[in-house]
């Protein structure tokens, strides 16, 4: 059974919007201390601050979903592949934050304190629950990409198809003038 095109596309766009909203919440939270115990700065990072990859992955996924709705079968396969890769990119970004929440927090604190490198900052950090939504949502986007890859959807219809070119070499010149073409 072929999945319904509007359901897949609109559901995928809603998922992209929900994941975009999840990027605004706290993905990593930590307390940083500088060299010699100086500091004690508390910092919370959103998804886009914790990792640079989720927002571009979501934008690519949304563009691929829109393209899949309007293009032919070959370009739809390409859009499905882009959607799979975008979902996997979202999963990788979220897992990166879950595995090392201290890295982005230390980098942000080092930047704010004017330090050259994040290794001069000691951080006690933890990831929130929102990166888990990134993992789940990215996996769902990749699965939607698989659905788009195997779907056998019809195009937009004959209304939007290009007209067939007629062989005009055997017709009189008057007929081309009637169609509004210049015969010269």
- Rounded to the nearest integer, the mean pLDDT of the chain is 85
Arithmetic mean of pLDDT, 81-93: 96
**In angstroms, rounded to a whole number, what is the distance separating the alpha carbons of residues 138 and 169?**
55
What pTM does this model have?
0.78
Indicate if the pLDDT at residue 109 is higher than 90. no
Query: Which residues lie closer than 8 Å to 133 by C-beta, 6 or more apart?
Result: 19, 22, 94
**In angstroms, rounded to a whole number, what is the distance separating the alpha carbons of residues 106 and 121?**
6
Arithmetic mean of pLDDT, 168-181: 70
Domains, the chain: 5-152 (1.20.140)
**Structure letter (DSSP) for residue 3:** P
Indicate if the pLDDT at residue 9 is higher than 90. yes
Arithmetic mean of pLDDT, 3-30: 93
């Amino acid at each position: 059974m072929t999945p319904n095109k509007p359901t897949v596309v609109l559901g995928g766009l809603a998922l992209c919007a929900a994941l975009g909203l999840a990027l605004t919440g706290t993905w990593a939270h930590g307390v940083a201390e500088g060299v010699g115990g100086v500091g004690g700065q508390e910092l919370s990072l959103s998804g886009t601050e914790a990792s640079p990859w989720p927002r571009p992955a979501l934008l690519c996924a949304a563009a691929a979903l829109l393209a899949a709705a309007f293009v032919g079968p070959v370009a739809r396969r390409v859009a499905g592949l882009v959607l799979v890769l975008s979902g996997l990119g979202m999963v990788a970004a979220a897992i990166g934050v879950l595995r090392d929440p201290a890295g982005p927090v230390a980098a942000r604190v080092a930047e704010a304190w004017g330090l050259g490198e994040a290794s001069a900052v000691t951080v006690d950090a933890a990831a929130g629950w929102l990166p888990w939504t990134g993992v789940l949502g990215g996996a769902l986007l990749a699965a939607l990409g698989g659905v788009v890859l195997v779907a056998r959807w019809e195009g937009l219809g004959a209304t939007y198809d290009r007209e067939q070119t007629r062989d005009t070499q055997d017709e009189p010149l008057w007929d081309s003038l009637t169609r509004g073409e210049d015969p010269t």
